[in-house]
């Protein structure tokens, strides 16, 4: 990654002189990837969230950022010379017309002081308003943050700043020792293995299906390239329903081996569940999902997991509950208008 040219609109870094030992700096490039990883995984451990990231995943993500210049849009917060937090801002343009200006602020418990949190959030909101000022006038423009029920400090920070909960999502887990229903495959559908030459077709079919979902943002080619790297070891596990040469629906299964080792579990993920419009309401998603569960059980997995929007327009939450998934964690999206206090 090359250093971005600093523009005249760059903000001075927050003043942290009121907090002994606390300093703030900008992004230093790839050398900060291990710091991002340490804070991200450390935050999840502190908050009781049983997920983890790898350095490879961090690098892939930051090499394919969209609408974010990390050299101007990130903060790294150090305590006595050690990175204990970081923040990032970016923006997204929904196909619906809504423009979202998004904030991420991750602090380890050593830095979770309300006044410091607000000082950092002040800078992030100011940076987002600078970015917004360079965009054409937009009647629908919101600031946005995300947290979950295991993060009371993070929730409290944003609620105190006037953010309102607008949407909930759920992490769900399914115990594979429980019976798995035999679901018929819809007529005209065949499940066939996926090879590398099918990946673009699967990507485009998935994006078409997700256009109906809340918050859909058309992807960039950079995001596609990042996705290719992300799934290169996973696609042999996918369950894809083909209608002739067309992708009718799919489940993007994967196993996070490092995470399973860390938490001493055998979990397979049944994510990226999508069905294109012509094949909805025929039981395709249910069939592909139960086939995925059977596959993971045969592989020795003891549970499967997924995430879902609580108000998915196609009834996904009810579907997942009907095949045995239960909620283990709730997340919330907060928003407030970008203009105003």
Indicate whether 70 pLDDT > 60: yes
**pLDDT grade for 8, boundaries at 50, 70 and 90:** very low
Can you tell me the mean pLDDT for 56-61?
96
Confidence of residue 5 (pLDDT cuts 50, 70, 90): very low
pLDDT at 339: 83
Residue 1 maps to a domain: no
- For residues 156 and 177, membership in a common domain is answered with no
pLDDT of residue 1: 42
Q: What is the per-residue pLDDT across 268-278, written as a single tens digit (0 to 9) for each? A: 999 999 999 99
- CATH label of the domain that carries residue 293: 3.40.630.30
| pLDDT of 143 above 50 | yes
Q: How confident is the model at residue 340 (pLDDT cuts 50, 70, 90)?
A: low
Bridge partners, 88 (sequence order):
74, 104
Q: Please say which residue of 142, 162, 182 terminates a domain.
A: 162
Same-domain status, 147 and 203: no
pLDDT in the model for residue 323: 97
Do 157 and 175 have their domain in common? no
Calpha distance 4→71 (Å, rounded): 6
Statement to judge: residues 195 and 75 lie in one domain: no
Count, residues in the chain: 341
Same structural domain, 191 and 278: yes
Q: Do 227 and 304 belong together in one domain?
A: yes
Average pLDDT over residues 110-134: 96
The mean pLDDT value of the chain amounts to 94
| pLDDT of residue 9 exceeding 70 | no
Domain shared by 261 and 306, yes or no: yes
Higher pLDDT, 191 or 4: 191
Alpha carbons 189 and 86: distance in angstroms, whole number: 47
Mean of pLDDT values over 124-131: 96
Tell me the mean pLDDT in the region 65-83.
Answer: 97
CA distances from 210 to 34, 141, 207, 247 (A): 32, 22, 5, 14
- Whether 68 is in a domain gets the answer yes
Q: Are residues 178 and 55 in the same domain?
A: no
Query: Please, which pLDDT band fits residue 139 given cuts at 50, 70 and 90?
Result: confident
One domain for residues 128 and 276: no
- Is the pLDDT at 341 greater than 60? The verdict is no
d(CA 319, CA 249): 15
pLDDT confidence of residue 136:
87
Residue range of the domain that includes 313: 171-330
Is 112 contained in some domain? yes
Do 97 and 152 have their domain in common? yes
Q: For the chain, how big is the Rg over CA atoms in Å?
A: 21
Query: How many CB atoms sit inside 10 A of residue 130's CB?
Result: 16
340 within domain boundaries: no
- Domain end, chosen from 162, 191, 220, is at 162
Q: Given this model, what pLDDT does residue 156 score?
A: 97
- What pLDDT, on the 0 to 100 scale, is given for residue 2? 41
What torsion do the CA atoms of 179, 182, 183, 188 make, to the nearest 10 degrees?
A: 150
Asked if residue 8 is part of any domain, the answer here is no
- 133 and 186: one domain? no
Above pLDDT 70, what percent of the chain? 97
Domain boundary among 130, 162, 194: 162
Is 339 a member of any domain?
A: no
DSSP strand pairing (303-309 vs 267-275): parallel
How far is residue 230's CA from residue 73's CA, in Å, rounded to a whole number?
Answer: 24
Residue with tokens 């942290």: 16
Summarised one tens digit per residue, pLDDT across range 154-208 is: 999 999 999 999 999 999 999 999 999 999 999 999 999 999 999 999 999 999 9
Domain count, the chain: 2
| Chain-centroid distance, C-alpha 8 | 32
Strand order in the sheet with 246-254: 22-25, 74-79, 82-93, 99-107, 141-148, 326-337, 164-175, 303-309, 267-275, 246-254, 239-243, 190-191
Residues 268 and 209 in one domain: yes
């Amino acid at each position: 990654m090359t250093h971005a040219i600093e523009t005249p609109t760059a903000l001075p870094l927050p003043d942290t002189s009121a907090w002994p030992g606390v300093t703030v700096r900008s992004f230093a490039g790839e050398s900060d990837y291990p710091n991002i990883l340490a804070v991200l995984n450390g935050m999840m451990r502190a908050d009781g969230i049983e997920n983890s990231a790898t350095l490879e995943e961090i690098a892939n993500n930051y090499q394919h950022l969209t609408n974010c210049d990390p050299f101007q849009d990130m903060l790294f917060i150090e305590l006595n010379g050690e990175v204990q937090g970081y923040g990032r801002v970016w923006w997204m343009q929904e196909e619906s017309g809504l423009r979202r200006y998004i904030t991420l602020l991750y602090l380890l418990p050593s830095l979770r002081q309300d006044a410091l949190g607000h000082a950092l959030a002040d800078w992030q909101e100011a940076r987002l308003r600078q970015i917004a000022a360079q965009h054409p006038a937009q009647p629908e423009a919101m600031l946005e943050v995300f947290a979950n029920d295991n993060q009371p400090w993070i929730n409290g920070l944003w609620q105190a700043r006037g953010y309102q909960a607008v949407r909930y999502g759920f992490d769900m887990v399914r115990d594979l020792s429980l019976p798995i229903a035999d679901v018929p495959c819809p007529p005209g559908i065949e499940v066939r293995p996926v090879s590398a030459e099918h990946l673009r077709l699967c990507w485009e079919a998935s994006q078409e299906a997700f256009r109906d979902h809340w918050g859909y943002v058309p992807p960039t080619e950079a995001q596609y390239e990042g996705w290719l790297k992300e799934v290169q070891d996973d696609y042999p596990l996918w369950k894809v329903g083909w209608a002739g040469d067309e992708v009718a629906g799919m489940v993007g299964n994967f196993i996070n081996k490092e995470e399973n080792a860390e938490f001493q579990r055998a979990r397979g993920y049944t994510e990226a569940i999508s069905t294109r419009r012509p094949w909805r309401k025929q039981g395709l998603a249910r069939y592909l999902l139960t086939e995925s569960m059977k596959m993971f059980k045969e592989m020795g997995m003891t549970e499967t997991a997924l995430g879902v929007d609580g108000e998915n327009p196609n009834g996904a939450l009810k579907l997942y509950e009907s095949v045995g998934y239960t909620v283990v964690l709730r997340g919330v999206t907060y928003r407030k208008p970008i203009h105003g206090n």
